[in-house]
Chain A
Amino acid sequence: MTLDPKGVAALALHRFGLGPRPGSINVIASDPRGALLAEIDRPGAGQIGHHPELLASAQAARAAYEDREARQAKQTLAQRAQKEAERQKAMAAEAGGDMSMEAKAGAAMETPAAPKPEVRPEPPLAQQILRKEAKARIDAALGAEIGFADRLAWFWSNHFCVNADKVPALAGGYEREAIRPHVLGRFADMLLAAESHPAMLFYLDNSSSIGPNSTAGINRSRGLNENLAREILELHTLGVRSGYTQDDVTRFAYVLTGWTIIPVANDPERGGQFVFNRRLHEPGPQQVVGKTYADGGAEQGRAVLGDLARHPATATHVATKLARHFVADEPPPALVERLAKVFRDTDGDLKQVSKALVTAPEAWSEQRPKLKRPAEWIIAGLRAVGITDADVQRMLQGFNLLGEPLWRPPAPKGFSDEQGAWLDGLALRIDIASQFATRVADRIDPASIVDLALGPLASSETRQTVARAESRAQALTLLLMSPEFQRR
């Protein structure tokens, strides 16, 4: 069976986008590939527009720090006041020395063990910031016409992941500042922006890495941490088993010493920003992956990153991951090579690579072997019923339950892009779909929802199963759980 234009449009929306919204299959049916290309050609594609509530990450780091300090001061004052009250009570008890044992015990019990606030305290500012960032990300995904640019942003954010458990106030700002501006720009620029961002420097411990022969290294006992250097080589650029050695890791870690963060506690103006601190930097030239880099301070690290971005192993690594994410767990080698070639030929122009992806014939196979990742599936479900204003808290819970908590990957490698990792969460998806469907069932028309969400992709079995459902809610649950909606 060959797909008609509407079928190709539905495939484009599910495979490269975030799923159809009501009507969007028809909107792009005349030229689905052209619609994908037009979306990434739009100025500002993939970025989150100016938003008055979102802070630059250094600002967020300072605000979160001040909030923490203020809370602690408040707590200290409360403890002091309580101690004072207890002391006065004890003095009063001593004064009335004829008090019986029972009365004393009663008096002790009257002293509250801990103050019980009547109202729920506001969550820490860092969590509030994280929530706003999550909402901005989800709103962008729900509002996108196709969602290809957002899918690319999600992909790169996962490639260069940080973890919000470690950097709650920075995780969202990191994605907006270091990832999204470069999603359709140059890989080298994204690499430099990511590795020099305070969120990454703190997440992978480089902010506390000190060259043993630097001024600070000689004067103190703390020293080198090779975590960031290793993950840049293994995960962000060349890829594991691409030929670099332990010595390359160590040397590169030396190169990166001094890439750190201005402490938030000391500098209310610039705290939380990236800084190159020469006192921490290992002096001297370093040889990394076969090339010697003279010591030029931060330039040394920029030079290494620039060469890593241009290395052919990086092109292959990135091309493989992109093809695996969008097309198949085991992507066609010809597709990988084509993407890698564009990457090499254009000096890592990611817009050209993205265009090569959606114009490659292998990327349009009608076989749909990939299971949508949890966040893709949940967003697609909301889009299918035309929701644009989501209950962010509930969505975040859904991501958590399905094993893809937002900005909290289990490891620096990010979330898996292979079906095996997600298949077993299928049963949980039924419960989430069922709850969601129960809440929104009155918005949908069971007779038309299959066409709006799947178009010609829907099998006759799926159409029949949805049509025979016992309720609107069950119809929507079955649609969201149908193989055609689960896969992309």
Chain B
Amino acid sequence: MTTCLHAYSRRELLLGSGVLFAWTHLPKLARAEGRDPRVLVVVLRGALDGLAMVAPVGDPDWVALRGDKALLVDGNTPALRLDNFFALNPAMPNLHRLYAAGQATIVHAAATPYRERSHFDGQDVLESGLTKPGAVDTGWLNRALATLAPEGRVNPRGGRAFAVGPVTPLVVRGPAPVMSWSPTRLQPASDDTVLRLIDLYRHTDPALAQTLEGRMGLIEMTRAEKMNLIDAAGGQGAQPGIPRIRAYFAEAAGTAAAYLARPDGPRVGALAFGGWDTHINEGAVGGQLGNLLGALDGAIAAIEGNMRDAWHETVVMVVTEFGRTARINGNDGTDHGTGTVALLLGGALKGGRVVADWPGLKPANLFEGRDLKPTTDLRAVLKGVLKDHLRVGDEALAASVFPGSEAVKPLGGLLASA
């Protein structure tokens, strides 16, 4: 599967006129503690091969499983050691640095409750937060925001969800009106035209009115102060192939971070990167997956850089719908699987560890004889962050954010402060 990536220069991103934010609430409880937490969710669409990102080099069955495709700490391109058991793909030095600094936590052998292998259903479960696909058209992140008690008017424009791209990820859709921000090359329509339309929509089509109203708030915000982005992509303009993907990842993630960092900016955002469906010639080192992981690593650096001081109040959650087959398939790739890796990043974390109840890689230990067996429910991790970072209550987490997850307790101890 291929996902369309369009590279836009930084200037084009800043000129973007299709800029929208959701009016949601400020997390009152967290504010009462003197904190101003930020959350950014990055969805990797297509199913990430967790074993190729974080390899269990200490597992005695690892090399037999992946053969010459197995990442090794003493290979030609050595993997980056995380502990005595796990090592990181060499394309991700920034993640390795954050891990060493205690600002990254890696969750392995994790999965949502979904046990089939459809991308679209898998993404639906991942983003909706429900146990079954196709049940709702709202996402857990949006519903989590909707449960938080508002802090009042301290920050009239703050606390808005933020989505990047012309198609809004499901995870941020929901009762709190969601607005998205999209790059554009076009000269924007005049404010007068927009105001006339909002007036027309208010009288004839409330849903369209609500969508458009958020736009005006953003235009004000962009004009109020030119944002200062770090150009993590290292250069601008249309670049072919991998550099273009690197530039797109870094610009999209960096832009989201720059908005989240602002004192009057949104506090919660989401974006999605595609391209992880590596059925053929996966290339964990130096190939297509290695390149994508490198681009993701650049995006991580861009987020960290553009968050500036707010990095210490930030948690970034990098998640994917499911993993891939433990073994390599007939095309030097991997097919749809189950258990995989999730990443937590940010200065607010008590990181520097791999959270995993390792299932082992012997044939008998594999899920349905083919996939890394999931031993950690991803919802426990997400709930742990929402609870300890944003202060979403236990009851809301089990009832409306992740319905049907009463038995899945929030994972504690992920945050430095909690």
Contacts and interface: CB of A to CB of B under 8 A. Distances in A.
Contacts of A92: none
Interface in A187-235: 205, 208-210, 212, 217, 222-227, 230, 234
A441 B3 CA distance: 36
Contact of B208 (A227, A418, A426, A459): A426
A400 B5 CA distance: 10
A166 B4 CA distance: 11
Contacts of B182: 401, 403, 424-425, 428
Nearest to B119: A411
A477 B192 CA distance: 12
Nearest to B370: A246
A221 to B, nearest CB: 8
B4 A410 contact: yes
B85 interface: no
Interface stretch (B91-99, B162-170, B257-265): B162-170
A465 B179 CA distance: 25
A435 interface: yes
A411 B4 contact: no
Contact of B331 (A225, A249, A465, A487): A225
Grouping DSSP codes into helix (H, G, I), strand (E, B) and loop, the B interface class, with mixed when no group exceeds half, is: loop
Given A225-B280, A481-B197, A422 B120 contact: no
B166 A402 contact: yes
A462 interface: yes
Interface of A: 163, 165-166, 205, 208-210, 212, 217, 222-227, 230, 234, 240-241, 246, 249, 397, 400-403, 405, 408, 410-413, 416, 418, 420-428, 430-435, 459, 461-462, 465, 469-470, 474, 477-478, 481-483, 486-487
A477 B203 contact: no
Contacts of B188: 430-431, 434
28 contacts: A166-B2, A222-B332, A224-B330, A225-B329, A225-B331, A227-B335, A241-B116, A401-B182, A408-B4, A410-B167, A413-B120, A420-B170, A421-B167, A421-B168, A424-B163, A424-B168, A431-B187, A431-B189, A434-B187, A435-B186, A459-B204, A462-B200, A465-B199, A470-B192, A478-B197, A478-B200, A483-B201, A483-B204
B137 interface: yes
Given A241-B121, A397-B185, A163 B2 contact: yes
Contacts of A428: 17-18, 166, 182, 184, 186
A163 B134 CA distance: 25
What band does the interface of chain B fall in when counting residues whose beta carbon is under 8 Å from A?
Answer: 35 or more
Nearest to B5: A165
Interface of B: 1-4, 6, 17-20, 45-46, 116-121, 133-134, 137, 163, 165-168, 170, 173, 178-180, 182, 184-190, 192-194, 196-197, 199-201, 203-205, 207-208, 211-212, 215, 274, 279-280, 329-333, 335-336, 368
A223 B334 CA distance: 11
Contacts of A481: 197
B189 to A, nearest CB: 4
Contacts of B17: 427-428, 431
Contacts of A430: 188-189, 193-194, 197, 212
A208 B330 CA distance: 9
A223 B208 contact: no
A240 B200 contact: no
A241 to B, nearest CB: 7
Contacts of B199: 465
B255 to A, nearest CB: 16
A412 B184 contact: no
A470 B118 CA distance: 51
Nearest to B168: A424
A482 B203 CA distance: 11
Contacts of A240: 116, 118, 120-121, 133
B2 A433 contact: no
Contacts of B201: 483
